[in-house]
Structure 1
Amino acid sequence: MALRDSDPAEVGGYRIEDRLGSGGMGVVYLARSASGRRLAVKVVHAQYADDDEFRARFRREVDAARQVSGAFTAPVVDADADAPRPWMATLYIPGADLGTHIRLHGPLPPSRARELAAGLAEALRDIHRVGVVHRDLKPANVMLADDGPRVIDFGISRATGLGASDALTQTGRVMGTPPFMSPEQFSAPHEVGPAADIFSLGAVVAFAASGKGPFDSPSPYETAIRVVEGAPELTDVPEELLPFIRLCLEKEPKSRPSVDELLRLLRDGTLPNPGPPTLLDAPRPRRRRTRLRLLTALGAALLAAVATTTLALTDDDAAAPESLPAGWEAWHRQAKDPSVDKDPMGPTALFNRCVASGTSLVCAGDEIMATRFALADGANTWGRPMDPTAEDADFGSSGSGAGTIIGSHDGRVYVYGADDRPGRGEAAYATRYSIQALDAGTGEVAWQTVTADSTDGTEPSSDQGASAAVPAGVVTVYGKTGDQYALLDAETGEVRWKRPLPNPNQYMSLLRSAGGQAYLLTAKYTSDVIENTSVSQLDPDTGKPRWTVRLKGDVDIVGRRAGRLLLLNTTGPRRTLTLIKTSTHIVTTVRLARPQPEAATPTLTGGTLYFTLSNGGIRAVDPDTGRQLWEGNSGVELAGPPIASRTHLYLASPSGRLAAVNRTTGKVDGTLDGRDEAAVDGSPTGAPLTLVGDALYVPYGLRSVYTVDVRTL
């Protein structure tokens, strides 16, 4: 590739000769050292240089690559993670990567594919021996050198000794390349170990031998489901390689062989042939909620990165008057577990959302559809499980899913429930989803409407963009296969109208609410690329779009301010803010004075746009001008979406650690220590906070909440 005028003449004292390639994170150059040795120099894109978390990941990549011997990888020659643009120089390996080779020349013959399998197994042996898991073994990261394959790019590797306390592994983001990822990388990313690389090895060898991956799909979301639940497609793989590949592609990590076992089997030629899977071997059907959780996990990398911050989208987000609820006192309480099915593992997550209504704070989380605390003294007066019939059938014993508050209206709180029961015909189970309006004070059901009753229904969760509360009621995904959206009347729960959703094989749809209006976001995708997103304001009387604006790429609504929707892209660095005037649907853009990284979570609160990082960093941005007002650090890692009063911004961690940040200066004016470190393992971030006057309510730990008068911080 020819050099460009903007390319540097040298990096770190190494003379640049050519471009080898570029990607989302940086550019790779061919360079020469003073002695004439050819090097591959990876230079990070400028927009990531100011991202402290990215620099930490880059340092970890350098450290991981240096630990491996270099016999089967590209040895690190030099690096500088503290340079204005971080860079790393490795020994240049002549030749094409495996993906390019297969595209140009077709699948490898069986003998060469077997040699590739042995070479990659040896590479993984060296990588695993120093306590490193690669986590992104794929064709593009395999170089075909003259003396055998070399594994490159340790950008998302992790030392196996690092646990859940490693903040860089707790961002909740799915890391890897979907067709070559292991099931546990989707379902339990904090528990990924060396066995994940074995799974990827099997997928890479299958690709090399057949020209296609064993889990390929036009949609990355379906790819994720196939990896976790589906059988691999191996019809074009030569027979002699099937035993090796099938052993690697076992769904359970403990069922996969070690690298040493694979090398011994390859050397001795004693690979067992487990044969093709049969119906008796097929895994028990997973519930629809598991499927949606996987879609959500992958969507976090593609489209849903902003969704967790759009739980309460209000126009201008005005602060509440300064006061305390009548009879208020400082309290902290843990909710009773209302689940009929007493799973010994129990609920393990904190509440994912609470809402204040009247004298009540109603919260929801894993297994809990809703539970009520008194705002004044925290009395936990009622609670409802997600599935009240779970004890009646063994298919319901594994857990009923993550409840969430959809919204509230006139003393009622909208939630959803799930009733699992035996299916019909070949289906082992069916799920009846319903949205319910509960009296916030008593927990009594004002109305209940079934939105799906089948094996393929869609969970009407607001967290997953499948429902949204508006003054007229609840707009929700509807129907046996979730192919419609409907409005449930606020007073009666009756279906006032229903309309078809776009084809799910080409579009991904999300329902959002902002400023009392419902919006339908429809993202058109091909393969793993989202081409454009259509934003439609829905007419509450008919459900038809009043207007539609098509925006390039992937975007989501952050909130509404001064009569305009605010939208940001959800993948890649954020350089511009898109604004849509809701009355005229005229689109304008505001360039951010400082690009914000993909890892930063955007939240619009108190009229200001805040970007928060998992390491506690905060950046305040004026949404009208794009100017960065200040940058600071709350000291709260893995904070959930912040909430603003007139003077301060409040952030809390999953353990309940709290910080009050001055909205004018960005300085921390007060903190409270966390209360429950042990009960939040696996919680990617803290839950949204609730502010009622000067009373702040903080969900934390295991089904727990505490409250504090913010004037005392």
Structure 2
Amino acid sequence: MVLRDSDPEDIGGYPIEDRLGSGGMGVVYLGRSASGRRLALKVVHGQYADDQEFRTRFRREVEAARQVSGAFTAPVVDADADASSPWMATVYIPGENLGGHVRREGPLPLDRLQELAAGLTEALRDIHRVGVVHRDLKPANVMLAEDGPRVIDFGVSRAAEALGADALTQTGRVMGTPPYMSPEQLTNPRDVGPASDIFSLGAVLAYAATGRGPFDSDSPYETATRVVTGTPELDRVPAELRRFIEWCLDKDPATRPTPDELLALLKGEPIPPRPTTDVSVAEQPPAADAAPRPRRRRGLLVAAAVGGLLLALVGTGVVVRLVRDDDRVASQLPAGWRSWTAKDTTTSGKGEDPSPSGTFTRCAAARGGLICAGDDVKAVRFSLATGKREWGLPVDSVPDDTSSMEGDVLGAVGDRVYVYRNDQTVPDDNSGESYERYAIEAVDARTGDVLWTTPTQRGSGAMAPDLTADNSTAATTRDGVLTVLGTEGGSYALLDPEDGDPRWKQPMPEEECLLREAAGKGYLLCSAGKAGTRVSRLDPATGKPAWTVTVRGSLTLIGQSGGRLLLADTSGPTYRSIVAVTASGSHTRHTIELARTQPGAASLTLSRGTLYFTLSNGSVRAVDPRTGRQTWNRNSTVEFPGRPIASATHVFVASPSGRLAALDGRTGDVAWTRPGRGVGMPWMGGEGARLTLVGDALYVPYGTRSVYTVDAHHS
């Protein structure tokens, strides 16, 4: 398509080359990254951009979609929910979508149908493994690439569910196209899970085989009713795929197949038994809502479907609203999630007492698992859904080394988790002395296999890869891992995610410098003496500064919000101001005076566009970074709280012992708390737990290498 005069020249720094299409949600452009990779950039329409709830949901769904990767999906590589027009970039998949191809060429032949069935099934397997439900699988969201089908459009469609005149009463509102929606999407959207995508898979394959959806009619209302109560029309579906599609279209989500069962069916293999829950975890009480629910009678389902549906055409799709008496919003939880508590027992074998005694330093979610690192453990994986410990790696050591060493998770992108290998007091054969040696490693998030190891610093002054604001020697970006290299930290480099080799290496300036990340991009912050702090955005292709600005004061980068980098002096006796630098365009600098001076002893965190100042006595203060105004100040009841993490409605803080508090995001009032679960000593383990939020599942590290999870929305 031809670009229009009103189309932007670039989006998020990516030059625009062509217009690929438009629809009810927004416009899709063809862009290109600095390395030459072609991207599909989706910019949402203004009606969505003006809705704050959409932005909140969009941000959360993109974060979840970033975890999805695989041979049959289009991975998300970048996004900005805070831009004037929110956008998302995925890998560009050349080809035609399934809907357009079938309309032009007719139904697919059997061999291509079987390839499509296998490819889409594998795509859903990869999507569901990381706790994501697509919810809008339809022919238009299936691209027919040369090397197989690709599932596209993660994030945007689910974010659109947030829109509406009264979001609190329209809790069943969902986005979708009736011929490819599941019955539960129309009758009970709060309970939609992975099985809903399986139903949509059956409908998509029926369309590919016959040119019509299995529930098609002239009226969207009639189509929705047939989805809930009718029998699918499959007479023209080839016999070889009839059983596959019929199984997918079962009205009961519990009896639909899993992707693994479908793949076995396609291969003619025995159907694998469904896994049973057999988890060895500590302190695991039964979930509060674990009692079996009575099955709803089919008549009630039909009444809900027919009496509660409001159909309104939006663009090329249909928005389906179901008004319910229950005004609770559905929790967004990983597939199969339930409340759990677990403890890691990975041992290093050092000394007489190899049992762990310290905490987890940091955790990150990747590929359906929670990957944590800490005292004597390089990385350990727990299932996001069940807490099952699936693998663990002790920190590397050398013989006769009995010192306690801490691992750390540097970041997680796709199926890779970046950690550091800590080799201490290594003997030097020439001098007889010892030195420290460090390396960054990429670990397969699913299996725990070490994919590559790249040495970073060594020698008497060597420093471990560090993410702390005051001593940052590493940063995980969308393009790879930035790290300091050499015996004296004389250079910095970008490590390629595939093999760990430096894509480039640049000499470190003579001044004291730190590596930082914001919105997936890498920055170098260097002391400029009396002039202040020099902030450089690093070009991912060369490592040279793409642009540089100098700001007054000794500042560190806190993060990015609303298209602006936020910096503050974290070393002074008080916080009196913050500095904002526009991340694109003219890179203008603006000092925002804080309406109330904040104590310098407070930890400063940016989460979901709000600055939080936290003190060891449990005080949490929320500040709007656009105006400097303090919106609230509350005692969280949590001593030595860790860094807050915000959801769409609440702010969460936890203590080293696992005491958890949820504060109302608007007022700061304590909504609910959970008691501590173990011994936590902040003077040994530092600040309180670093929390991880996946949808509405909140993961709380505490005590001695332990972690538990709660439903943050319904706790």
Distance 2:346 2:334 in 1: 26
- Counterpart position of 1:573: 574
- Counterpart position of 1:352: 361
| AA at the equivalent of 2:707 | V
For the residue of structure 2 that corresponds to 1:580, the secondary structure is strand
For the residue of structure 2 that corresponds to 1:697, the secondary structure is strand
Shift of 1:365: 1.0
Using a 3 Å threshold, how does the CA distance of structure 1 residues 475 and 605 change in structure 2: closer, same or farther? same
Distance 2:614 2:559 in 1: 16
Using a 3 Å threshold, how does the CA distance of structure 1 residues 331 and 348 change in structure 2: closer, same or farther? same
For the residue of structure 2 that corresponds to 1:373, the secondary structure is strand
Shift of 1:502: 2.3
Shift of 1:566: 0.5
Contact 1:458 1:481 in 2 (8 A): no
Using a 3 Å threshold, how does the CA distance of structure 1 residues 678 and 665 change in structure 2: closer, same or farther? closer
| AA at the equivalent of 2:402 | S
Match of 2:346 among 337, 342, 350: 337
Shift of 1:342: 4.1
- Counterpart position of 2:408: 404
| AA at the equivalent of 1:472 | D
Match of 1:657 among 653, 659, 670: 659
- Counterpart position of 1:617: 619
Residue correspondence of structure 1 range 494-573 to structure 2 within 5 A = 494-503=501-510, 507-524=511-528, 532-570=532-570, 571-573=572-574
- Counterpart position of 2:480: 473
For the residue of structure 2 that corresponds to 1:352, the secondary structure is strand
| AA at the equivalent of 1:424 | D
Distance 1:343 1:520 in 2: 43
Shift of 1:427: 4.6
Using a 3 Å threshold, how does the CA distance of structure 1 residues 536 and 346 change in structure 2: closer, same or farther? farther
Distance 2:403 2:531 in 1: 38
Shift of 1:465: 0.4
Shift of 1:703: 0.5
- Counterpart position of 1:417: 421
- Counterpart position of 1:3: none
Shift of 1:456: 3.9
Distance 1:681 1:561 in 2: 32
Distance 1:674 1:419 in 2: 34
Match of 1:488 among 489, 495, 498: 495
- Counterpart position of 2:334: 325
- Counterpart position of 1:374: 383
Residue correspondence of structure 1 range 615-694 to structure 2 within 5 A = 615-677=617-679, 682-694=684-696
- CA offsets 1:149-195 (integer angstroms, 9 cap, x no match): xxxxxxxxxxxxxxxxxxxxxxxxxxxxxxxxxxxxxxxxxxxxxxx
- CA offsets 1:348-404 (integer angstroms, 9 cap, x no match): 3311210001210000112211111111111112111222x43x2x2x2223x3211
Distance 2:347 2:446 in 1: 17
Using a 3 Å threshold, how does the CA distance of structure 1 residues 493 and 371 change in structure 2: closer, same or farther? same
For the residue of structure 1 that corresponds to 2:685, the secondary structure is coil
| AA at the equivalent of 2:387 | G
Distance 1:343 1:655 in 2: 26
| AA at the equivalent of 1:406 | L
Using a 3 Å threshold, how does the CA distance of structure 1 residues 662 and 367 change in structure 2: closer, same or farther? same
| AA at the equivalent of 1:573 | T
Shift of 1:479: 1.2
Residue correspondence of structure 1 range 146-157 to structure 2 within 5 A = none
Distance 1:455 1:424 in 2: 15
Distance 2:448 2:485 in 1: 25
| AA at the equivalent of 2:495 | L
Residue correspondence of structure 1 range 124-135 to structure 2 within 5 A = none
| AA at the equivalent of 1:627 | R
For the residue of structure 1 that corresponds to 2:573, the secondary structure is coil
Shift of 1:453: 4.3
Contact 1:533 1:552 in 2 (8 A): yes
Contact 2:493 2:506 in 1 (8 A): yes
Using a 3 Å threshold, how does the CA distance of structure 1 residues 452 and 343 change in structure 2: closer, same or farther? farther
- CA offsets 1:45-88 (integer angstroms, 9 cap, x no match): xxxxxxxxxxxxxxxxxxxxxxxxxxxxxxxxxxxxxxxxxxxx
Match of 2:437 among 423, 429, 432: 432
Distance 1:659 1:708 in 2: 12
Distance 1:600 1:379 in 2: 36
- Counterpart position of 1:4: none
Shift of 1:345: 7.6
Using a 3 Å threshold, how does the CA distance of structure 1 residues 384 and 345 change in structure 2: closer, same or farther? closer
- Counterpart position of 2:583: 582
Distance 1:462 1:567 in 2: 16
Shift of 1:659: 0.3
Shift of 1:678: 5.6
Distance 1:668 1:470 in 2: 35
| AA at the equivalent of 1:450 | P
Distance 1:340 1:481 in 2: 31
Contact 1:458 1:478 in 2 (8 A): no
Contact 1:557 1:565 in 2 (8 A): yes
Distance 2:611 2:683 in 1: 29
Shift of 1:321: 9.5
Structure 1 gap segments, 5+ residues each:
1-319
Using a 3 Å threshold, how does the CA distance of structure 1 residues 470 and 321 change in structure 2: closer, same or farther? farther
| AA at the equivalent of 2:606 | L
For the residue of structure 2 that corresponds to 1:682, the secondary structure is helix
| AA at the equivalent of 1:590 | I
TM-score normalised according to structure 2 size = 0.52
Matched positions, count: 382
- CA offsets 1:238-296 (integer angstroms, 9 cap, x no match): xxxxxxxxxxxxxxxxxxxxxxxxxxxxxxxxxxxxxxxxxxxxxxxxxxxxxxxxxxx
- Counterpart position of 2:86: none
Using a 3 Å threshold, how does the CA distance of structure 1 residues 678 and 501 change in structure 2: closer, same or farther? closer
Contact 1:534 1:549 in 2 (8 A): yes
Distance 1:593 1:321 in 2: 37
For the residue of structure 1 that corresponds to 2:512, the secondary structure is strand
| AA at the equivalent of 2:519 | G
Shift of 1:625: 0.9
Contact 1:483 1:501 in 2 (8 A): yes
Distance 2:682 2:601 in 1: 21
Shift of 1:681: 5.5
Distance 2:577 2:673 in 1: 33
Distance 2:583 2:654 in 1: 33
Distance 2:659 2:449 in 1: 34
| AA at the equivalent of 2:417 | V
TM-score normalised according to structure 1 size = 0.52
Contact 1:343 1:398 in 2 (8 A): no
Contact 2:531 2:550 in 1 (8 A): no
Contact 2:331 2:711 in 1 (8 A): no
- Counterpart position of 2:98: none
Using a 3 Å threshold, how does the CA distance of structure 1 residues 577 and 321 change in structure 2: closer, same or farther? farther
Distance 1:471 1:477 in 2: 17
Contact 1:680 1:702 in 2 (8 A): no
Using a 3 Å threshold, how does the CA distance of structure 1 residues 669 and 444 change in structure 2: closer, same or farther? same
- Counterpart position of 1:178: none
For the residue of structure 2 that corresponds to 1:687, the secondary structure is coil
Distance 2:490 2:635 in 1: 44
Shift of 1:339: 1.3
| AA at the equivalent of 1:581 | T
For the residue of structure 1 that corresponds to 2:684, the secondary structure is coil
| AA at the equivalent of 1:441 | R
Contact 1:452 1:481 in 2 (8 A): yes
For the residue of structure 2 that corresponds to 1:406, the secondary structure is strand
